[in-house]
Structure 1
Amino acid sequence: MSFPDPIAVFRTEAAELLELIEAGLLDLNVNLGDKDQVDAVFRGLHTLKGSGAMFGFDALAAFTHHCETAFDRVRKGEVPATRELVTAVLEAKDHMRALVDTPNGDHEATGEALLANLRAAVDGANSPGAASPAKAAPGRNHFKIRFSLPQNAMANGTNPLPLLDELRELGECEIVANRSAIPSLELLAPTDLHVSWQVELVTTQPRSAIDDVFIFVMDEMQLDVVTVEPPLAARTLTKSEAPIAEAQLAPAPQAVAAAPATLPAPTAPALVDAKQKKTSENVRVPAEKLDELMDRVGELVIAQSRLSQLAGGSGDLQLRAVSEDVERLSGELRDTMMVLRMVPVTQLFGRFRRLVHDLARETGKTIELLTEGETTEVDKSVIERLADPLVHLVRNSCDHGLETPEERRAAGKPEAGHILLTARQQAGEVIITIKDDGRGINKERVRAKAESSGLIASNANLTDQELYQLIFQPGFSTAQTVTNLSGRGVGMDVVKRTIDALRGTINVTSHVGKGSEISLAIPLTLAIIDGLLVRVGDGRYVIPLSAVEECLELPIEEDMRSRGRSFISLRDSLVPFLRLRDLFRTGTKPDPFQKVVVISTGSERVGLVVDQIIGDHQTVIKGMSKLHHDVATFSGATILGDGDVALILDVGHLVAEGQQQEAHLRAAG
């Protein structure tokens, strides 16, 4: 049995904590008076510091301690939260990530600079009338503390030593360990905790500071704090004074009986079982294992397809029954696997709050990011590959799209520019839209740049959509100067190539002075899809079922009349169609009764003429080889039940080609 690497587990949990800290800081930046967010950031920093110290990330723990202290002062009302403080801790958070990823790197100079910024932000937050910590708590408080952790605390990742260190930081204290509950050696389990502690603390801090030390283990521990009145004068305890009388510190008999650390050994498993039941609702699984499981499910679907084909050609009723059961079970397993791989796009959208915050500071613009449809779910592999394209699109909207506050005021707009990120599902696709209320795309400038670059002829007749698609050409940029954000014409090319690789499409709309909207239509999954298997000549092809609107027969007389014009009348509308036989150059004669499969992407439709519609097919998508990566007509391949290979048609490319053919025919007619 293999156990997970504890350092890898810590890094995963640290990444989640850093994301929560960043989200809390960005929320606090919107409402600086939100005490809940101040507490949330403080708890995140506190947990990260404690976990880092537990796993040996001492530099991380030491650095995080300063940020935690700053937010502790905000939490106690000693200094107000300011945007300068939020920015300083955001920058410090990036340094914490570096300390997690490369703990042995040379980070000292960067850390010192960030701490200097943090100190400046905290000092700047002090108002002239604000009381210093010493004045806020002039008295000396004397506390006598007794605490014990659950018997399974260490097995669940709680280290008591950092808790004791935090108590020492509060003031002068003496700590005595109570070892009376430790069982004999033969009954001792090395992962169980049987020690409790007695602490005498003299501090200027209030009682709440002690509760803050145990804030994350409070629900599962026994804690008794006694205040000695009047407060003792500040003094240093000697070892002879250290032992504290049991009569002074002992809680009520009922409390002692309830302390987990003093429970008899036979009851310990019950506590462990309860904890396991509490945490078993969620299980952390490495993404690689999900990918491996998806591959196995894909192979099972292919094997099930072969079994169905064999059963269909056999007269054995029992074989057919077994085949139907396997088909049903494999379909359910496939659906379950797809759900496991689905993640909400909020994981993707959350990254751009920090990006927009930093871009607003860099450009001097006031930018507000809005999101909708965060609960929309997409395959995790799609989410991972969408990150870079969306970064380029958001940066482009901030730099090119939105105006400066002065320009917006002159145009009668509010000073704050808005960027809206939305996600929604449509059939088998997810539509992600990036919309801004900026200056819009200048079509004349785009056309002039395209002509000067030789992308189009000066007399070319292009639709608005065709013109907007030019901005995704390699090296294309209308920026007059090169900046840190844009101007080299690289980013939008990356967007186009990535979306094409995802078998997606890009649609652009823009209105000068009102803003632009870029929509990305992406398949929900890249692994298994439902397809429509068709035959053209001697070859078989798969059309994604989510894009199929309807199927109809193409009569011979209609086929003869339509030669040369490539249109079919469908409920009082003309739909262009492509003869796949001609497109694929099969060299075979058409079947007597050809079929038309009408496909669509968005509002655009095109018909595909095929020889035969074979039926539905669960399609396991296999990538094309490097020799065929530039063949735009196909997005992948799949293995059929008889072992033959069928190519998967790229619906977006075919619809675009059909619409382009329609435009040429209309222009010629």
Structure 2
Amino acid sequence: MDWAKARAIFLEESRELCAALEGALLDPVAFPANAETFNLLLRTAHTIKGSAGTFGYEALVAFAHALESVLERLRGGKITLGDELVSLLLAGNDHLRRMLDAVEAVAVDAEPDWPDGAPLLQRLQLFLLEDAACAVPGEEALDAAATPCWQLSLRFYPDLFRDGFDPLACLRYLAQLGRLSAVAPVWPPLPEFAELEPTDCLLGLELSLESSASLEQVRDAFEFIAEGSLVGILPPHAPLAAFRALAERLGASIEPQLERWLARGALTPMEAERVREAAWLAAEPGAGQPGAAAGKPARGDSHYIRIEAGKLDRLINRVGELVIAAAGTKLIAQMRCDGELLESVAIINDLVEGIRDDALTLRMVPVDEVFCRFPRMVREVSRQLGKSIQLTVRGADTEIDKSMVERLTDPLLHLVRNAVDHGLEPAEERRAAGKPETGQLTLNAFHDAGSVVVEIEDDGRGIDRDKVLAKALQRGLVAEGRSLSEPELLQLIFLPGFSTARALSDLSGRGMGLDVVKRNIESLRGEVEIHSRPGLGTTFRLRLPLTLAIIDGFRVEVHESSLVMPLEMMIECVDMPQAAMERQTRQVNVRGDWLPFVSLRELFGLPPAAGPEFVVIVHYGDKRAGIVVDRLMGEVQAVIKPLGDIFRSLRGISGSTILGNGKPALVLDVPQLIHHACRRERRRIRQASETPASDMI
């Protein structure tokens, strides 16, 4: 067995389980506080524990077992999922991740350098042991043991005597706290006489302590020996789940331990039977396997297989080459005018298109891979700032190209932090404005016209336009007296170092971040829009292409060059007479509707066309414009290839492709062209409004 590969799978699956555990704790809508959710949480911890045991990671097993024990009590209704427990379970989940990182940092056969989890284990034990503090309000504790005594189970480590410690010292300390009773030794299977080491401590003890001492006081008796020994402490009226968990820790079979508790009256026969039944149910085949919860398939299903990312990338590249080769075959068939060959090529092209669509689907992942990181962050940051914030996630199942996921995380992180820190007001300010104390932050994703739109919306104070303009004037970014449209004014906040924050904070306010947002989104051939209403909130809208690999395109020609534009952004192609085009104002009349247009000949510095031209009407979001070309050549499948670094700042071109005849063609950046046309139109309207009426006569 390849243990290195098995360990890599274990680490990946365990991290996915940690992410699922965190999501279930932070999303009360998708995972309400009911038995199904608690079962999912318990199965998650149990699966990590079982997998870690396969590799012999005892420290990881012990910590996962402690989490599992607390979740077992949660499922049994002995404790409630309050804010304190959620915070503790999240901290425990983070510790699991640190332990997984420690495993990954060493060789397969090496012992990891485990992070210290003792403080967390102590806090988990409080939820496991202190039943009175964690009981469900209004419910009778039916599963409580009748004895008023502490029940102690001690298994000392072999080197105890050699380290200079005496078990009797622990008993003498306990005797000062109360009355000891039913003290009984427990002997493990002894080795052969010849192998017996006289200095080994093979002793174990079972006893009861009648005392009103606290848990910390009882634990102090074993302060110096607890690290190597197994110390089991059950307080008075401990729940039966705690008895079962301790019995499982003490040995493979719980029967001997149940007999010891029965002998000294720690459990009644009926309670012992219930502990036994609970252990049987937990040990049933499949009980530890994560099942279908919240509509998601179980991990044991065959619905998913794991594929190495490099293999998937190679497949996409092969499909791209296949698309180009199929286009070349189609072109040859058309040139030969062979009917049978054309029919055969058409069938092959249909199959290639299907393979292309299926291959691209493999690259698509839910945007929830990005969204799932923010509930935890919003919760922690809101507690840090003393704000009450409700995060709502919509459209998490919207799919996006895998290559965009990591590059989208950083921009979203900046925007969410900005909304939490600056956009949403403190509770007192919201009350004064007549708003609910709890601020609303929404993450939303959806498909629109061949694009993926991601929105970050808050109901906070909005963007103060006067402050933005004053800051821009102060820094010389805007000429004095120049009038800016609202979109142009709001776009100023994306300039490097631009900030209107009144005070710096650990989260934002230094003017760093929003310029990164715009730069990263534009590197994905996307754009950022801002809509803000003072006192009502702000919405940042990120619009991204659906995929970066292969598109359905439409080929046009300008002069002697071929160009390709995305087919999904096209509305229609129109043969426009010169009378319908206003060259001076760069507008075209399409059935009575005047639209701004971009002439590609003018954009590329070519001479005017001698013959008739065509206008391709395109759209992006809610904007429409015309693109004037020389000839319309028809649909093509375009495999987008990135341009070199020397063309990084080139506007209006998003990449290149290879046509079926083997010649290259540039892929037009339609959103950039539309924005160019709209900006020019807004500038023309503004100049017209600023021109005195006397100059227009």
| Match for residue 524 of structure 1 among 546, 567, 591 | 546
| Contact preservation (8 Å) 2:79, 2:135 | no
Structure 1 position 508, deviation (Å): 0.9
Structure 2 counterpart of 1:61: 61
Q: 1:572 aligns with which of 578, 584, 592?
A: 592
Q: Verify: 1:454 aligned to 2:460, yes or no.
A: no
- After superposition, residues 639-654 of structure 1 pair within 5 angstroms as 639-654=658-673
Q: Deviations over 1:286-336 (max 9, x none)?
A: 233222211111111011111111111113333323321221111111111
Given the superposition, is the C-alpha separation of residues 636 and 351 from structure 1 closer, same or farther in structure 2, using an over 3 Å criterion? same
Q: Deviations over 1:103-143 (max 9, x none)?
A: 25886565234445545676788429897998467899xxx
Residue in structure 1 matched with residue 428 of structure 2 by the alignment: 406
The reply to whether residue 209 of structure 1 matches residue 278 of structure 2 is yes
Amino acid at match of 1:530: D
Any residues of structure 2 matched to 1:106-505 within 5 Å, and which? 110-118=116-124, 126-127=132-133, 135=145, 169-170=247-248, 202=258, 206-211=275-280, 213-214=282-283, 217-218=286-287, 279-505=301-527
Match of 1:182 in 2: none
Task: Answer yes or no: is 1:102 the counterpart of 2:158.
Answer: no
Distance 1:365 1:219 in 2: 39
SS in 2 for 1:454: coil
Q: TM-score, normalised by structure 1?
A: 0.77
Inter-CA distance 369–552: structure 2 relative to 1 (3 Å threshold): same
Change (3 A) 1:473 1:173: closer
In the alignment of these two chains, the number of paired residues is 563
Once the two structures are TM-superposed, the CA of residue 218 in structure 1 deviates from its matched residue by 4.6
What do the CA deviations read for 1:612-652 (whole angstroms, capped 9, x no partner)?
11111111111111111111221111111122211111112
Q: 2:47 matched to 1:41?
A: no
Partner of 2:646: 627
Q: Distance in 1 between matches of 2:58 and 2:311?
A: 32
Specify every segment of 5 or more residues in structure 2 that has no aligned partner in the other structure, as ranges: 107-111, 152-243, 262-271, 290-299, 689-697
**Structure 2 vs 1, CA of residues 371 and 134 (structure 1 numbering), >3 Å: closer, same or farther?**
closer
**CA separation in 1, counterparts of 2:250 and 2:99?**
31
User: Do the aligned partners of 1:542 and 1:647 also contact (CA within 8 Å) in 2?
Assistant: yes
Aligned partners of 2:46 and 2:68 also within 8 Å: yes
CA distance in 1, matches of 2:410, 2:520: 8
| Residue of 515, 531, 535 corresponding to 1:509 | 531
Q: What SS does the corresponding residue of 2:428 show, helix, strand or coil?
A: helix
TM-superposed deviation, 1:96: 1.1
Q: Deviations over 1:404-454 (max 9, x none)?
A: 111111111111111112222112112211111111111111112222223
8 Å contact kept, 1:167–1:213: no
Change in Cα spacing, 1:448 to 1:73, as seen in structure 2 (3 Å) is same
1:136–1:463: structure 2 CA closer, same or farther, 3 Å change rule? Answer: farther
CA deviation vs aligned residue, 1:199-257 (integer Å, no higher than 9, x gap): 7663666134313542562599xxxxxxxxxxxxxxxxxxxxxxxxxxxxxxxxxxxxx
Is 1:668 aligned to 2:659, yes or no?
Answer: no
Please give the TM-score of this superposition, normalised by the length of structure 2: 0.75
Partner of 2:267: none
Q: Distance in 2 between matches of 1:344 and 1:282?
A: 14
Q: Structure 2 counterpart of 1:511, which letter?
A: R
Aligned residue in 1 for 2:627: 608
**Counterpart residue identity of residue 290, structure 1:** L
* Closer/same/farther in 2, CA of residues 493 and 590 from structure 1, 3 Å limit: same
SS at match of 2:676: helix
Q: Deviations over 1:481-507 (max 9, x none)?
A: 221110122221121112111111211
Q: Which runs of 5+ in 1 are unaligned?
A: 141-165, 176-197, 221-277
TM-superposed deviation, 1:90 = 0.5
Deviations 1:246-285 (A, max 9, x none): xxxxxxxxxxxxxxxxxxxxxxxxxxxxxxxx84343222
Identity, % of aligned positions? 39
- Conserved in 1, the CA contact under 8 Å of 2:452 and 2:546? yes
Please give the secondary structure, in 2, of the residue aligned with 1:127: helix
Give, as a single letter, the amino acid of the residue that structure 2 aligns with 1:573: D
CA distance in 2, matches of 1:168, 1:10: 27
Q: What is the root-mean-square deviation of aligned Cα atoms in Å?
A: 3.2
* 1:542 alignment partner in structure 2: 564
C-alpha change, 1:218 and 1:485, in structure 2 (3 Å) is closer
Report the more deviating stretch, 471-480 or 361-370. Answer: 471-480
List per-residue Cα deviations over 1:350-401 (Å, max 9, x = no partner).
Answer: 2221121112111111111112223322222233322221121111111111
Indicate the residue corresponding to 2:228 in structure 1: none
Aligned mates of 1:126, 1:167 — CA distance in 2? 18
Aligned partner of 2:674 in structure 1 is: 655
